[in-house]
Structure 1
Amino acid sequence: MPKKLHTTLVNDTHHSGLRFAKRTYLPRIVGLGTGSFCVGSVMIEHTTPGWLWLLLFINGFIWPHIAYWKAKHSSAPFRSEIHNLQADAVFGGIWIAIMGFNALPSATIFAMMGMNNISAGGKSLFFRCATAQITAALALLFVAELPFQPQTTPFQLYLCLPMIMIYPIFLGNVTYRTSRKLAEHKQAIMQISVRDGLTGLYNRRHWESLLSNELESFRRYRHKTTLILIDIDSFKAINDSYGHSVGDQAIILLAQELKQTMRAADIIGRFGGDEFAAILPHSTKLQAKRAIERLQSRLANNLFPQHPQLHIHISAGIAECDDTQETPTQWLNAADHALYEAKKNGRNRVEIAE
């Protein structure tokens, strides 16, 4: 693997891990903070040493910041954060054992941690952390010979309510925002896969798939459909005389004028380089020709204020769909041949395929 590519992949993995750690930071603050009240509701009704109260405070209110700092400064933040989640599970098991498996606080802590682990890493992380939590709880219960006291008092129930009510709502909001971002990223990727980066029109691959659909539609419903191929005249001369930036600007301007001239139902794509294509459903070849003539009139205006002598001229080939075109390639070839004739006959003109 090239060194530059390897470095890029490592950086992407690092940034992804940092985002993951940041995503779990706030849920950990809220979850462990409210969870401390669940544990404290049991400990306060029994004789509890001061060092255990200090440990509860550290775990509930200081550990979330230590965990985030640890992941943030790790060379592998994602792996570090997974270890943090496992540590959360072990601590959860310890508190469940110290509470003597008190029913409601124990079930609340187990359920909320499970919810957090599923949202963070799916079923795999949930089972790993649940196993660690149960193992820690049972081991401490038997090793320290702690009493088994599953009864929940009304006072303990009330102090569990903040976690039961607040944490699911907070985690749901975090999950919702994450899903929104993923949906936006997915939409952006879909746009990249079907759109041309320079003009925003359909790229050739996607446009050709739409061409196949229109051919099938013609065969089924027998409605008139016309294909147009458009090419900028003397485009190489524009690049040579004015530079590639002006050439790109010419392509962008033509795309904009195409969108202004054609109907919303027309399917416009950048076919490659300075060549464009449009499918006009429910249109005859004469209607398509009039559309190109309107486009030529718009292009006759001065579109380059810094280069008033520069005008965009186009040639176009038109092919109306009929029964002789059995494949999209044959339909394209008919329009391409008409475009060739337009170029051969002097350019800046429109030819219709026979």
Structure 2
Amino acid sequence: MMNDDDFYTNQRIREEWHQNLSQDDAHRSGIQFARRVRLARVVGLGALFFPIAGMLVTHFHSGGWWLALVGWAFVWPHLAWQLSCRSPAPHQSEIQHLKIDAVIAGVWIGLMGINVLPTAALVMMVGMNMMGAGGCRLFLAGVVMTFASALMTLALTGRVVTFAPDALEGWLTLPILVLYPMLFAWLSHRTAMRLLEHKRRLELMSTRDGMTGVYNRRHWETLLRNEFDHCRRSHRVATILLIDIDHFKSINDTWGHDVGDEAIIAITRQIQMTLRAGDHIGRFGGDEFAVIMSGTPAESAIAAMSRVHERLENMSLPGAPNERLRISVGVAPWGTQFGHYREWLKAADVALYKAKNAGRGRTEVAA
């Protein structure tokens, strides 16, 4: 009945868990990452079109540069998204696209003669995307690629480094320097909220029984260990119960597993309605439940179970109206004779078998 202390931390269990992780989860996560980058890229490149276009106007560059700018600002974000969606590894594909962003940003920086404000906007956009996607390592790689590309463009085009921005380019760049960090912060907030919700769901899945919603055995035993430690330190009153559905195999064999599931859920609801909100109910297995009643003496626990017995007498299952549910209950109050929480649990187990051997449908207390 009882687990070994290290059962759930066993290396074999961890390895099986990792082996069973679905590859679909990694693909879905990569698509979500690409979608976030797409929004940032669409907004960032669309806004950067204007200061770079201002530079093309003031410096009378050829039409080929205009075509390249339009493609980079308005076509590339959607092309990158489509390529990531069709890739077997969307996350890695999007990382490569971010590196392409860094290289192309360097081309525009070089073409503008490392004009201060547009250069700052481009480096900010590339740097924030890189930092958000891969941390300092990817950020540094992106900065190196950007400035290497800028220096190469300067050498190939013969542009002169000016640094000082033209008035038109400066005014067109300022909104980007203000608004893009706000967009990035909003995207980061959305991601953080989703991760928080995902973590909450995982915690719920790791502690709850999927059918009944009560605690699973692993988490219930953790709560029992904590309760045992509290009782031992403060000598407070507490009682645990082990509950077994009588003749559950017969119900399954006669009416089918659907009715068996109905029985488990019905008994869970009756226990929940009878006990207090602070009592910890766990499902140990197919037809066995366990309860921790903090601050409750054995007499009160027995009285609560008597009410459950009475309610079950008048309850029928929708799939088996003539079937009457009964439970056997073992009760074990905490005592100083228990040196380990498993000894406390064993006492409740012995009381449960005593109830079964005495005819079932009853509650027995550990001696």
TM above 0.5, yes or no, is yes
Query: Residue 292 of structure 1 corresponds to which residue in structure 2?
Result: 305
> Equivalences for 1:171-320 in 2 at 5 Å?
171-320=184-333
1:123, CA displacement in angstroms? 2.2
Is it true that 1:31 corresponds to 2:44 in the alignment?
A: yes
TM-score (norm 1): 0.94
Aligned twin of 2:351: 338
Pick the aligned partner of 1:89 from 102, 111, 117.
102
TM-fit CA distance, 1:64: 1.0
Task: Give SS of 2:239's match.
Answer: strand
1:53 paired with 2:61, answer: no
Letter in 1 for 2:351: A
SS of residue in 2 equivalent to 1:150: coil
**1:198-234: per-residue Cα shift (whole Å, max 9, x none)?**
1111111111111111111111222110111111011
- State how far apart, in whole Å, the 2-side matches of 1:320 and 1:140 are: 80
Moved more, 302-311 or 282-291: 302-311
Task: Tell me the equivalent position of 2:168.
Answer: 155
Equivalent residue of 1:23, what SS? Answer: helix
The amino acid across from 2:217 in the alignment is R
Cα-to-partner distance string for 1:233-274 (whole Å, 9 max, x where unaligned): 111111111111111111111111111111011111011221
Q: Flag the 1:11–1:315 CA change in 2: closer, same or farther, 3 A.
A: closer
Greater CA drift, 201-210 or 13-22: 13-22
1:8, distance to aligned residue in structure 2 (A): 8.2
Q: 1:10 deviation in Å?
A: 4.7
Write the letter of the residue equivalent to 1:142: A
1:55-70 equivalent positions in 2, closer than 5 A: 55-70=68-83
1:153-209: per-residue Cα shift (whole Å, max 9, x none)? 443221012312332222222222222221111111111111111111111111111
Give the direction of change, closer, same or farther, for the CA distance of 1:164–1:181 in structure 2 (3 Å limit).
same
| Partner residue, 2:9 | none
Work out the percentage of aligned pairs sharing the same amino acid: 42
2:122 aligned residue: 109
Give unpaired runs (5+ residues) of structure 2.
1-17
- Unpaired stretches in structure 1, ≥5 consecutive residues: none
CA contact (8 A) 2:111 2:157 kept: no
Quote the residue 2:57 is aligned against. 44
In 2: Cα distance, 1:309 partner to 1:7 partner: 42
2: CA distance between counterparts of 1:270 and 1:29? 50
Summarize the Cα distance change of 1:166–1:101 in structure 2 as closer, same or farther, 3 Å threshold. same
Cα displacement (A) at 1:6: 9.3
In 2, Cα distance between equivalents of 1:58 and 1:222: 74
Question: Deviation per CA, 1:280-318, whole angstroms, max 9, x where unpaired?
Answer: 011100000001111112222223134221121001011
Counterpart amino acid of 1:272? Answer: G
**Residues in 1 aligned to 2:170 and 2:363: alpha-carbon distance in whole angstroms:** 81
Match of 2:12 in 1: none
Separation of aligned partners in 2, 1:238 and 1:278: 23
More displaced 10-residue stretch of structure 1: 44-53 or 223-232:
44-53
- Give secondary structure in 2 for the equivalent of 1:44: helix
Opposite residue 42 of structure 2, the aligned amino acid is I
**Any idea what the Cα deviations from partners look like across 1:72-129, whole Å, max 9, x if unmatched?**
2234333322221111111100001111111111011101211112222222322222
C-alpha separation between the residues in 2 aligned to 1:60 and 1:124?
26
2:341 corresponds to which of 321, 324, 328: 328
CA RMSD, 1 decimal: 1.9
Alpha-carbon separation, structure 2, partners of 1:262 and 1:309: 27
